[in-house]
Structure 1
Amino acid sequence: MLAESSQITAIDLFCGAGGLSLGLKNAGIEVVAGIDLDPACQFPYEENLKATFLRKDVGEVEASELEGLWTPGRYRLLAGCAPCQPFSSHRRGADTSKEDNWDLLSHFARLVEETTPEFVTMENVTRLSRMSVFSDFVAKLEELDYEVEYGTLYGPQFGLPQERRRLVLVASRVGAVGLPEGEKDKTKFKTVEQTIKTLPKLRHGEGDPKDPLHTARKLSVMNLARMQASIPGGTWRDWPEELLAPCHRKASGRSFQAFYGRMRWDSPSPTITTQSFNFGTGRFGHPEQDRSLTLREAAMLQGFPRSYKFVAKGQRPSMQAVGRLIGNAVPPAFGLAVGRQFLALASEISQEQPRAGAGQGSQTCALDGTLGTG
């Protein structure tokens, strides 16, 4: 389905580099705009999505701005992934309720209430489902007559070559829409090898002259020795005693066995983080080359196509800045699966008789399933 003829027009709040938007677009949804406060998001979003980028704090976005972006006469989708740092499992035990990002989901709910789009979807860390800010969000949607469903999606079941689990919510005011179900069983999970094997080989500290994102961070003498002593899927317990870091010798560090680890070729990668280019922050060692992942490899394991551009031509990518964009992105595979659910409902409605109540005011469902003015 071509986006130009899509029955659904979408705006992506907290859009980042465009992972969720890309998935929705690939499903056949017309993505008209993304909104994010981070200026680093503007180039990749506009370049790859060919959509409007609004650099703005979502807390300051007005309903009228959204209404002016959605394409008239189509079902409206408001999508987003509020920054998840306060809800991350890495922050377990810490009081994060006073942080600036804590109430961003409330602003999402405010915009839903003020615009009442036909469809809503959000994605976040699984831990969010146990927090009051999420239950308040769900309660607000139900108060506004949305049918809501949410649950945990597992990346490999949706073709993502990564062991990522995320909370996904879908909501509709025009009929029930269910969560997507992963179609792939364990024997068909996409692997690290299938995803990055064809990229040029590199030594640590080297880069691909044709792709600045395919550059490996230089390792210290000690970390190179640790890399060489690591086996795919193994842990630092495989190393000789002299390579152990001080944290490995403490009781508190014994449970962090994936740090300084190598990935396996024959399975999906571990969860890609904002520091996945750093050997010491997780199992981010290349399966056979003595180096950590490159930004390009991390992006591909996150589900972005190899051609996806994160910085302008001639600009040297920052490991930290681009790593943050990649690690914080919604994998496009989740957006694709969710987008198909909404389009299936829109198509189902289009086959029914016109019925009122699909939009606000005098809007009614047209015979083709899009929104017309009565």
Structure 2
Amino acid sequence: MAKKVKGLQAVDFFCGAGGMSCGFSQSGIEILAGIDIEPQFRETYLANHKNSKFINRDIIKYQPEELKKEIKISKFDDSLIFIGCSPCQYWSKINKAKHRSSYSNNLIYDFQRFIKYFMPGYVVVENVPGIVNSKNNHVLLSFLDFLTFHGYKYEYQIIRTDHYGVPQKRNRFVLIASRVTNAIVFPKPEVRNDMTVRAFIGPHNGFPILQDGHVDPANIMNNTSALSSLNKLRIKVTPKDGGDRMAWKDDPKLQIPAYEGKDHYYRSVYGRLWWDKPSTTITTRFIATSCGRFGHPEEDRGLSLKEGATLQTFPKNYQFKGGLVSIAKQIGNAVPPEMARRMANAIVSKNG
């Protein structure tokens, strides 16, 4: 456990299973509460953040006055940090139905209500890069205007997670804002050759050799998703260490009709991870080989829960509660804790 930084406290909005809370607590920041609309996150969150509250509320309906009573925080507290990692379906490049995700488009406005009421010393936002790149959405610009109007200085960047300690090929939007310092020092990227799948998982790192559909009665984190008979055949003929569905595209039994004649269409689906490259983005469906490049580099199966959590940089002792699908969703939805820790350090460095 990191030594507590005197005075610094945080409230984690849209906390999920606690990836941001984990990283910030590793930096010594006290986590007062996590807020999320999904009750399934409660057990996992409280198991790992025992001195924090889990507030199961919809932020659209939740009022700042209620939060003030619940955790007794004050307005204009220079040592208070608000973390806002709202669901990002609206700006996601893989989203195909904007109208279905417009709910997530408005959550920043609701997060903004809490900032306006409490005026915390710091604000941290994490999201997908599409929040910047969207030509038809002005939510971010409005939020930045709001921060400036209320005296916050800010810096934001689109970062590569493998430059911030996370072995994934993943880009994220991160913003750090403060009304108590003009000098926001954004954490510097660190280019390393060991941000690879091999450096984090595999038998050489203590991970057991498993079959698909493995059920470990002692530790659900070793569980893997069962493959259909066809998918078992597909992964067996997919070359190890980065192979993809091109290996069986001409096999009439294994080829998927939707992909016939479309060799470059979602080519990574059914693929294996490479040992010596970063993982693809760990999503909520990372346990399914049919949902991306989630095949184990060598074994004929998809990733286990523990492997997905490790590639997300959750500590080995982080406790996830629930079933296979629920835990996979918790892991895939989370902000990688190591990335969060480095963002938190940028704030800690100003309060040493």
Does the alignment reach a TM-score above 0.5?
yes
Q: Counterpart in 2 of 1:61?
A: 62
- Structure index of larger Rg: 1
Q: Counterpart in 1 of 2:225?
A: 217
Amino acid aligned to 1:229: V
How far off its partner does 1:98 sit? 6.9
Gap change, CA 1:327 and 1:70, over 3 Å in 2? farther
Q: Distance in 2 between matches of 1:210 and 1:265?
A: 28
Q: Which sections of structure 1, spanning at least 5 residues, go unmatched? A: 312-316, 348-374
- Give the secondary-structure state (helix, strand or coil) at the position aligned to 1:96: helix
C-alpha contact (below 8 Å) 2:238/2:244 kept by paired residues:
yes
Q: Counterpart in 2 of 1:181?
A: 188
1:335 aligns with 2:340: yes
Q: Which segment drifts farther, 266-275 or 70-79?
A: 70-79
Q: Counterpart in 2 of 1:244?
A: 255
C-alpha contact (below 8 Å) 1:7/1:74 kept by paired residues:
no
Q: Distance in 2 between matches of 1:336 and 1:288?
A: 31
1:93-104 aligned within 5 A? 94-96=97-99, 99-104=102-107
Q: Counterpart in 1 of 2:93?
A: 89
Amino acid aligned to 2:244: T
How far off its partner does 1:74 sit? 6.1
Q: Counterpart in 1 of 2:82?
A: 78
1:208 aligns with 2:211: no
Gap change, CA 1:2 and 1:196, over 3 Å in 2? closer
Q: 1:161-215 CA distances to partner (integer Å, 9 max, x unpaired)?
A: 11121100000001131321122x242x322122121211111111233311211
1:11-22 aligned within 5 A? 11-22=11-22
Gap change, CA 1:146 and 1:74, over 3 Å in 2? closer
Partner residue of 1:310 out of 279, 295, 320: 320
Q: Distance in 2 between matches of 1:3 and 1:108?
A: 29
Q: Distance in 2 between matches of 1:145 and 1:295?
A: 43
Q: Counterpart in 2 of 1:362?
A: none
Q: Counterpart in 2 of 1:159?
A: 165
**Percent of pairs with identical residues:** 34
1:196 aligns with 2:193: no
Q: Distance in 2 between matches of 1:241 and 1:266?
A: 28
C-alpha contact (below 8 Å) 2:269/2:290 kept by paired residues:
yes
Q: Distance in 2 between matches of 1:288 and 1:233?
A: 9
Q: Distance in 1 between matches of 2:39 and 2:294?
A: 27
4+ runs of 1 displaced by more than 3 Å? 1-5, 65-68, 70-74, 94-98
Q: Which sections of structure 2, spanning at least 5 residues, go unmatched? A: none
C-alpha contact (below 8 Å) 1:159/1:190 kept by paired residues:
yes
Q: Distance in 2 between matches of 1:59 and 1:240?
A: 47
Amino acid aligned to 1:52: K
Q: Counterpart in 1 of 2:145?
A: 139
Q: 1:66-107 CA distances to partner (integer Å, 9 max, x unpaired)?
A: 444266776000002001112211125x43387322210100
Q: Distance in 2 between matches of 1:267 and 1:220?
A: 28
Q: Counterpart in 2 of 1:227?
A: 235
Q: Distance in 2 between matches of 1:202 and 1:277?
A: 13
TM-score by length of 2: 0.91
Amino acid aligned to 2:11: I
